[in-house]
Amino acid sequence: MRRLRFLVLALIGLLPLPAAAQDAAMLIADRVFLDGRETVVAEGRVEALRDGVRLQAQRIVYHQGTGRLEITGPITLTEQSGRAVVLADSAELDEDLRNGLVRGARLMLDQQVQLAARELDRSEGRYSQLYKATVSSCHVCNDGRPPLWQIRARRVIHDQQERQLYFDNARFEVLGVPIFWLPRLRLPDPSLKRATGFLIPSLNRDSRLGTGVKVPYFIKMGQSRDLTLTPFWSSNTRTLEFRYRQAFRTGRIEVYGAVSDDDLLPGELRGYIDGRGAFALPRDFRLEFDVEGTLDDAYPTEYDYLDKDRLDSQLAVSRVRRDEYIRGALTNYHTLREDEDDANIPSLIGDITYERRFFPRRIGGELRLGTELHSHYRYSDLDVDGPDPDTVVDGRDVTRLTVDAAWLNSWTLRSGIRAETEAGVALDSFWTGQDMSLPATQSGAAPRLGVTFRWPLKKVGASGAVHVLEPLAQLAWTGGDDLEVANDESTRVEFDEGNLLALSRFPAPDRRERGWRAAVGFNWTRYAVSGWQSRLTVGQVIRDETDGDFHLSSGLSGRSSDLLVAGQLIGPEGLAFTARSIIRDRSDLTKAEARASWITPGVAVGASYLWLDDDPRENRADTISEWAVDGTVRLAENWLGSANWRYDLASNATAEAGVGLTYINECVEMEFSASRRFTSSTIVTPSTDFSFTIGLRGFSGNADGQRFTRTCK
């Protein structure tokens, strides 16, 4: 057989085809013979290849005089890209396989969309015209039942070059029932990722905005940018949403926004913008920015665009290398909180940070040098605290310069104890303006020294489980005097396993832990043979005298801190549990948080709990205690269910709740969701939202529908 195929190739090469075609044409068959002087007949598993187009059939008759091919099926015609495949009963094509008529044809596009017609007219190797055609991405069974959806048309043209489908007299049907008719329709074929046109619409119902429809329109503006406009028209609002994206050689930008004219604030133009971008600069620098703004404070929440109570806009330039870190940033804040005024909070913040590390050979270890310049500005001109809820001077502006040097080293002692040491000094200078209660300038030095000991102990149990117990002990000292400066940066202090052994647990240098202090505790880890892992950290800080800058809820306010207990449990089947608590005494908690999750291919469920004690110094007059649950579960092969719930235990009321249901198969995706926000404020009222979206798979960029394909019974 192999020899016969080579003979066939030689025979085809002797035919008087054009010179340009002799190298491109190839024919393989089980049997080939001449029928006259100008007719070649190939039978049995025939394959012809021309300019990347592959033809498979049972019989091919080639007429040299006319250059035509008579083909008997079943026929498979595959384009060079493999994205378009024609299946047919019979065909008449030219010798280039680019023009001709195909009967009983089915055109498969990217293995997702099927076009069926009595005849297919192939032209220029680019256009395929199908007459009396049906189009669907649904799996079609030979039981007489119509697919879930299909489009019937008098004529369908597939432009292979532009990758577009054009319909004449198109009728959309669901389960064989006509839904609507269009004289003309254009859709992208599945292989086209970006094309100008309408996207999937959605039906929305909101208790404040009314019932309306969102119809996105995508505009392709070249290969590197696009614009999406989404009109939203309901009984209470006229809104235009937009998204602009552009990719550059060295970066990208993306801008979201909306403008509205609604009945909630009649006669007022409402809107918001949310933009961000990132660019690579010369010498490994990186530029990043984000912009957030709104015309009124309630708009982002009422329209569910942003879930934030402070909007921040930032411009930053940074560079990260193995031994160097540089960053400069300018940030602007706009508050949406009803009890805050932009003029009285640090609205404009500038930061410049430089860090470098060295590894001196003579003394060993690691040498770190750093400089930080920070400044924040309030728009208010008052140098005292005005009539607002806080106790902070309304117009205070602060600039801080910090220079820091530190030497770090570690050793492993003969007994296996790991010894770590850190010695350093920080120089701080503060300039304070518009605060009559504080001096204009303050400077000071803070030398520090710390020694930490770790003793990792390992044991293998009878079951094969590995236990690692690591006792911890640290002794630290920081000198210098407390400076008479405002506490604007270190207003919130967290005590956790990450800073148990830190020489200062304040988040910024405007406050420093001084004097002698010690930290003790242990880490315990267990690795089971079955894949389970468990971790536990217990620790406490002891100091020679109390530090009044630590709030009561921080867990660090006394000479002996509250007890830190943190644990984690990880299972082999996607189970995970993490918890952390600050225990004041045996029956009193300062802070507690926990998170549990279970993630498998069919289930993704998470639950969290938070408890924060009241602390007026952190603007928390009441205790915060709440549960939150969210998850997605595959109910069946094609059905997904989701739900979320947040419950405020302190007020004994639900804060937020929502449910969703999604159906997905190879040709359609439908999603329904309902949510309600129960909380309210002076600018936002409780609201309920319903949304329904349906998309035709194969035309909406979803290429993973094969795993949801139904089967015929």
Q: What is the pLDDT of residues 127-140, one digit of tens each?
A: 999 999 999 988 88
For the chain, what is the mean pLDDT? Answer: 90
Burial classification of residue 282, based on how many CB atoms lie within 10 Å of its CB (0-12 exposed, 13-18 middle, 19 or more buried): exposed
Q: Which of 91, 124, 142 is the last residue of a domain?
A: 142
SS3 553: helix
Note the pLDDT of residue 713.
62
Note the pLDDT of residue 621.
83
Please report whether residue 480 resides in a domain: no
Q: Where are the beta strands (DSSP E) in 189-250?
A: 197-198, 202-206, 210-214, 217-220, 225-234, 237-247
Cβ–Cβ < 8 Å for 581, 592: yes
Mean pLDDT across 50-75 = 87
Structure tokens at 590: 């300062």
**Residues 6+ away with beta carbon under 8 Å from 35:** 41, 61
Q: Provide the domain limits for residue 681.
A: 639-713
The CA–CA distances, whole Å, from 159 to 116, 263, 312, 497 equal 16, 46, 47, 62
Nearest CA to 670 among 19, 148, 215, 224?
148
Q: Distance between CA 367 and CA 409 in Å, rounded?
A: 9
Structure tokens at 538: 């217990």
Check pLDDT > 80 for residue 402: yes
Cβ–Cβ < 8 Å for 303, 274: no
Note the pLDDT of residue 705.
44
Structure tokens at 671: 């999603």
589-609 CB burial, b ≥16 within 10 A, e <16: ebbbbbbbbbeeeeebbbbbb
Give the distance from CA 638 to its chain's centroid: 24
Check pLDDT > 80 for residue 708: no
Number of structural domains, the chain? Answer: 2
Predicted confidence (pLDDT) per residue in 497-506, tens digit: 999 999 999 9
Please report whether residue 671 resides in a domain: yes
Query: Residue 707 phi/psi, 5° resolution?
Result: -75, -10
DSSP single-letter state for residue 131: E
Q: Distance between CA 99 and CA 85 in Å, rounded?
A: 15
Check pLDDT > 60 for residue 624: yes
Nearest CA to 689 among 644, 651, 652?
644
Note the pLDDT of residue 712.
63
Indicate the residue type of 62.
Y
Nearest CA to 590 among 628, 618, 552?
552
Please report whether residue 506 resides in a domain: no
Predicted confidence (pLDDT) per residue in 647-672, tens digit: 999 889 999 999 999 999 888 899 99
The percentage of residues in the chain with a pLDDT greater than 90, rounded to a whole number, is 67
Q: Distance between CA 68 and CA 95 in Å, rounded?
A: 6
At which residue do the structure tokens 């300038």 appear?
Answer: 441
DSSP single-letter state for residue 424: E
**Residues 6+ away with beta carbon under 8 Å from 266:** none
Check pLDDT > 60 for residue 703: no
Q: How confident is the model at residue 444 (pLDDT cuts 50, 70, 90)?
A: very high
Check pLDDT > 70 for residue 709: no
Note the pLDDT of residue 537.
98
Give the distance from CA 108 to its chain's centroid: 33
CATH label of the domain that carries residue 124: 2.60.450.10
Strands 270-280 and 100-109: unpaired
Check pLDDT > 50 for residue 27: yes
**Residues 6+ away with beta carbon under 8 Å from 305:** 256, 258, 272, 274, 299
Please report whether residue 689 resides in a domain: yes
Cβ–Cβ < 8 Å for 241, 232: yes
Give the distance from CA 154 to its chain's centroid: 43
Cβ–Cβ < 8 Å for 155, 120: no
User: What is the maximum alpha-carbon separation in the chain?
Assistant: 112
Please report whether residue 407 resides in a domain: no
Please report whether residue 676 resides in a domain: yes
DSSP single-letter state for residue 124: T
Candidate from 296-300, 375-379, 708-712 with smallest mean pLDDT: 708-712
Secondary structure percentages of the chain, helix, strand, coil, to 5 = 5, 60, 35
Cβ–Cβ < 8 Å for 539, 519: yes
Q: Which residues pair with 40 in a beta bridge?
A: 34, 62
Q: Distance between CA 78 and CA 57 in Å, rounded?
A: 12
Note the pLDDT of residue 23.
45
Nearest CA to 103 among 90, 87, 84, 112?
90
Rg (C-alpha) for the chain, rounded Å, is 36
Q: Distance between CA 230 and CA 233 in Å, rounded?
A: 10
DSSP secondary structure letters along 472-493: EEEEEEE-S-------SS-S--
The CA–CA distances, whole Å, from 388 to 341, 348, 385 equal 9, 20, 8
Candidate from 444-458, 642-656, 688-702 with smallest mean pLDDT: 688-702
Neighbours of 362 (CB within 10 A): 4
Structure tokens at 557: 């306010």
Check pLDDT > 70 for residue 405: yes
Q: Does the N-terminal peptide bond of residue 74 adopt cis geometry, omega within 30 degrees of 0?
A: yes
Note the pLDDT of residue 10.
36
Cβ–Cβ < 8 Å for 118, 132: yes
Note the pLDDT of residue 328.
98
Please report whether residue 101 resides in a domain: yes
Predicted confidence (pLDDT) per residue in 271-311, tens digit: 999 999 999 999 999 999 999 999 999 999 899 899 888 99
Please report whether residue 694 resides in a domain: yes
Check pLDDT > 80 for residue 25: no
Residue 327 host element (H or E): strand 324-335
End-to-end CA distance of the chain: 40
Q: Between residues 228 and 26, which one has the greater pLDDT? A: 228
Note the pLDDT of residue 1.
39
Predicted confidence (pLDDT) per residue in 572-600, tens digit: 889 999 999 999 877 688 899 999 999 99
Q: Distance between CA 17 and CA 48 in Å, rounded?
A: 15
